[in-house]
Amino acid sequence: MEEKSYVEDIDRSIYDIRDDEKDAYKLKEGLTPKIVEQISKEKNDPVWMQNFRLQSLQIYNEMEVPDWGPSIEGLDMDHIVTYVRPNTKMKGKWSEVPKDIKDTFERLGIPQAERKSLAGVGAQYDSELVYHNVREEVAAQGVIYTDLESAMHGEYADMIQKHFMKLVKPNDHKFAALHGAVWSGGSFVYVPKGVDVEIPLQSYFRLNAKGAGQFEHTLIIVDEGASLHFIEGCSAPKYNVANLHAGCVELYVGKNAKLRYSTIENWSKNMYNLNTKRALVEEGGTIEWVSGSFGSRVSYLYPMSVLKGKGARMEFTGVTFAGKGQNLDTGAKVVHCAPDTSSYMNTRSISKDGGISTFRSSVVVTKEAKGTKSAVSCQSLMLDSESRSDTIPAMDIRTKDANVGHEAQIGSISDEAIFYLMSRGMSEEDARACIVSGFADNVSKELPLEYALEMNNLIRLEMKGSIG
């Protein structure tokens, strides 16, 4: 059998398997007040959320599309379905999930991961969570892990209203406003004071519907002295029309608390990934981001950390892989608002077959943030002469009492390294894949085993057929 030679011809294995669309309910394409009101009715929103959605829609209509990033001219909201309800209600037992949906997540390894190493799992299919469960021993610690919509109507309703889209406000940018208008699904996590959740929680988002958008909202509050590792996975099959992901993540890290937020974004190459993630960190708190971006046609993805309290710290570790037809604009942002805060960004970007990878960093140090330490390191690997890699750092330093640095390296795979590995019995293709995997090792070693394997397999998949 002749080896395929282009990335777009290579089967993405389990991720590109499409399920038959058996939706229970699906809105028509477009974005109008009537559609937003229909979503609100479907969700049984409280009055404040109904009003919030319509206000967000108004902001969306008044704002312009950002003009500094990759073009998104292929995205037309008049042809995007903003709400698709699958043919099931949310279940607390995996055995009760309908077989067609269950088979999809079985292929992706979600139940296996839950049984082996996770404290709780939420699984979203199109616009709704279809499964949510948390281990009894974790719930006994007072940890709340549930769907956001249920939480809005329960004892945590006031907490939701106090925190929802307060970090990421609708007027931040056009797609934050879009999210505020049509969001659906997502998870709510609350970790009480002093509680250490020793094993991770996980949410997985699967967008199956053709020409649809997914707009889940994740809200996590880690109270004083508590700790949590939260894992997020995303995938979608490939279609010949645009799909959209415009989710939102808001993370609140309390005094002396710690949160690690790990994500592998493996969207298909017809996806526009316009996701917004932000964390607020109190005194002595720590936020750790671990991020892998592999799919999508276009990505705008810049997790932001606001270091509000003295001694707060942020670490960001990321890898981006841009293949043919992809323009991935990713990075991280941090705002130092208090003394003795620290941040460190360490990223790897890989581009091949004409793919474009752009790393943007933003470091802001306010005049109150004396004693700040910040370091940004970006390394880029281009696998051919057609690909492109850019580094765009921005620094706004408003105090003299700060130590801020940035370094960037852009290079290619050396012929000597390839020759050495081939002299040890490797094929040229395997040698290149080995070097690329090693280049991305700083991210994979930070991920749980299942996700590290997934990332390395994705890199090998992208490398397959890249010779000649």
Total structural domains within the chain = 1
In a domain, residue 446? The reply is no
54-94 pLDDT, tens digit each: 999 999 999 999 888 899 988 999 998 888 876 556 556 66
What's the token pair of residue 58? Answer: 């108004």
**Winning range, highest mean pLDDT, from 148-157, 232-241, 429-438, 449-458:** 148-157
φ/ψ (deg, to 5) at 107: -60, -35
Distance CA(440)–CA(455), nearest Å, equals 9
- pLDDT, one tens digit per residue, over 165-214 is 999 999 999 999 999 999 988 889 999 999 999 888 877 767 777 788 88
Q: Does pTM top 0.75 for this prediction?
A: yes
313-317, 341-345, 362-366, 437-441: segment of lowest average pLDDT: 437-441
Band of the pLDDT at 21, cuts 50, 70, 90?
very low
- The C-alpha R_g of the chain, in whole angstroms, comes to 22
Between CA 285 and CA 337 the distance in angstroms is 13
Q: Could you tell me if residue 300 is inside a domain?
A: yes
* Dihedral sign of CA atoms 175, 176, 182, 187 in order: positive
Tokens encoding 67: 């003009």
Residue 455 lies inside a defined structural domain of this protein: no
Flag whether 15 is in a domain: no
Cα separation, 374 vs 313, whole angstroms: 10
Domain region containing 199: 22-415
pLDDT for 27 equals 80
Q: Note whether residue 442 is domain-resident.
A: no
Segment among 28-42, 141-155, 311-325, 450-464 with least mean pLDDT = 450-464
Q: How far apart, in whole angstroms, are the C-alpha atoms of residue 373 and residue 284? A: 14
Query: Quick one: pLDDT at residue 15?
Result: 46
Q: What is the DSSP string of 125-171?
A: ETTEEEEEEE-HHHHTTT-EEEEHHHHTTSTTHHHHHHHTTTSS-GG
Residues facing residue 144 across a β-bridge: 190
Position 14 in a domain: no
**In 10 A of CB 325, how many CB atoms?**
15
The yes-or-no verdict on residue 467 having pLDDT over 60 is no
The answer to whether residue 432 is domain-embedded is no
Report pLDDT digits (tens) over 327-368: 999 999 999 999 999 999 999 888 888 999 999 999 999 999
Whether 305 is in a domain gets the answer yes
